[in-house]
Each structure stands twice: as structure tokens, then as C-alpha cells.
Amino acid sequence: MNTSAHPNIPSSMVSVGGGESRKSKATGNVKMSAKDVKVFYGNTQAINGIDIDIYENEVLAFIGPSGCGKSTFLRCLNRMNDTIDICRVEGKIVLDDQDIYAPDRDVVLLRAQVGIVFQKPNPFPKSIYENIAYGPRLHGLAKRKAELDDVVESSLRRAGLWEEVKDRLDQPGTGLSGGQQQRLCIARTIAVSPDIILMDEPCSALDPIATGKVEQLIDELSESYTIVMVTHNMQQAARVADRTAFFHMGDLVEVDSTDTIFTNPQNQRTHDYITGRFG
């Protein structure tokens, strides 16, 4: 993974460092695929029929103006929209050739396989250890205490948080700083060994330094996980994503390699958005 290729955050969108090395990755197998997905809130249609393939081990970013449906679509991918009473999803989303909206599909197992990290860090009001151990306990992933300790340690290590918290695992997770809390939430998601990690604007509540750390983490995680992230920040998409999808008013306008989207978009709406004409 070539993180040193763009050590300084580029201020202009055109200078996308490291884009070349990333693009080559986006040719793996299809991990997840959406066909004509429509979402309704009551009688209002929020998503107008989206088709998209998500490849294994890629970082796919969703960009677009507020209210364009990118978060709504993201939440369809692990059925988090089920928790909203008035929300209805139509169409087909397939994960490893199996429909995730099939009636006999177990949503509990689906969410273990497709984890999610939210916009605002939401650690449980429990200790750091318990925050990480919660998922593995839930799914019975660790038989003994020692195994659980291992899972907690390796998850925190992968989230780059171990060195900062290893001496205070028994202290409340809510006592960490915002950036640490978000990495704790990422570690919590990793602990159940998902295939795909969804991230809903994971850095929008963080300061630039914490954002840098989380972005670096996303880069490292894409070695072993497929990552789909929503972001408001186009530079962030340029920095971390292999491919970028532009959403507008419930439509998926264009999806292509991040380089192409930012340097040579095919659609006029995409062009207007990334050059700052609206949004």
C-alpha cells in the first residue's frame, strides 16, 4: 500500500497523488452488486433505481451534495434501513451471489459480514475492552477469555489504537478523544471479522489530524477488507478511494476510477459538482 506517495494532503483536486497505483486494484471479483435499488421514506422516493457493482478489496467512495441519497444507499447494504419504520427498499442487492433482502436471510449474520461505522463516534458506555468484545461475544466468536483478549488486542492493533489504550482497557470508551473514539468504533467493527466495512462520513466529526489517522487506517484496512465510504469531502475521496461514485438527487450519476471522476468526468453534472458549481 502506497501511503507515502501522498504524505501532504493535496489542496487541489487535480493533483491526486498515488491514484495510479490504486486504480490497478479495482479489477477484482464482484463482492456485492445492486440491481435497480429504490428506497422510499413513506411516499417520498429517496433513491431512484441504482445499479452498482462493488469489487473485492477496493475502497469505493460515495460523493454528492447533501440529501442526494448516498447515506441512504449505504445503509441499504447491511439493511440498517430496517430500523427506520417508514423506510421501504425495492430491488435486489446481492452479496457473494446471495440476495441480502431474501425473506430467509438472517439480518444478524448479514451485519456481522457487512459492518458499519457511523458519522459520529458512538462507543457504548462501557469500558474500552467491553466495547471491542461486544461483537465477538454476541456472535460467539471467542470460546475462552484468552481468545477474546487476542481478538481485542488484534482489533485495536489493526485500528492503530493499541499503543494508545493498552494500559487503560478497563476505562470507559466514552472518555477517549473524538478521533480515538472513531478508531475504537472501527476496531469494534473489525472485531467481528466482516468482509465489507461501510463507513458513513467517518471523519466528518473529527479534526484534521484525527482525520489523517483514520484515512491512513482506511488505506491499511483495504488490504483485507472491502470498504465503502460516504464522504462530503471530495479531497478525502481523492486521497483514499480506488473508485468514486457520484450521487445526485437519488440517482447514481457516474461511477468510475477516482482519477477519471476527478480529472475527466463523463457526465456534465459530475463535472459541475467537482468543479464546485453546486453542492
CA dihedral 263, 66, 54, 6 (to 10 degrees): 50
Nearest approach, Cβ of residue 82 and another protein (Å): 8
* DSSP string of 77-121, one letter each residue: TTTGGGGSTTEEEEEEEEETTEETTSTT--HHHHHHHEEEE-SS-
Q: Which is nearer to another protein, 134 or 162 (CB)?
A: 134
Task: Pick between residue 16 and residue 199 the one whose CB is nearest to another protein.
Answer: 199
| Residue closer to another protein (CB basis): 18 or 115 | 115
Cβ distance to another protein smaller for residue 122 or 267: 122
> In this structure, are residues 61 and 240 in contact, taking their beta carbons and an 8 Å threshold?
yes
Radius of gyration (C-alpha) of the chain in whole angstroms: 18
- Which residues contact another protein (rule: CB under 8 A)? 78, 80, 83, 85, 107-112, 115-116, 118, 120, 122-126, 134-135, 138-139, 174, 185, 188-189, 192
Q: What is the DSSP letter of 200?
A: E
DSSP 127: B
Closer by beta carbon to another protein, 206 or else 261 = 206
What is the rounded distance in angstroms from the CA atom of residue 117 to the CA atom of residue 77?
Answer: 13
The separation between the first and the last C-alpha atoms of the chain, rounded to the nearest angstrom, is: 32
Q: Would you say 120 or 157 has its CB closer to another protein?
A: 120
Nearest distance from C-beta of residue 189 to another protein, angstroms: 7
Helix then strand then coil, % of the chain, to nearest 5: 35, 25, 40
Min dist CB 111 to another protein, Å, is: 4
- Give me the least distance between CB of 261 and another protein, in Å please: 28
Min dist CB 24 to another protein, Å, is 31
CB 204 within 8 A of CB 215: no
Q: How far is the CB of 35 from another protein (least distance, A)?
A: 24
Kindly tell me which of 126 and 232 has the beta carbon lying closer to another protein: 126
Least distance in angstroms from the C-beta of 21 to another protein = 31
CB 110 → another protein: shortest distance, Å? 8
Give residue 10's identity as a one-letter amino acid code. P
Sequence letter at residue 218 = I
- Convert 207-240 to b/e letters by CB count within 10 Å (16 or more is b): eeebbbbbbebbbebbeebbbbbbbbebbbbbbb
Of 5 and 138, which has the nearer Cβ to another protein? Answer: 138
| CB of 174 closer than 8 Å to CB of 165 | no
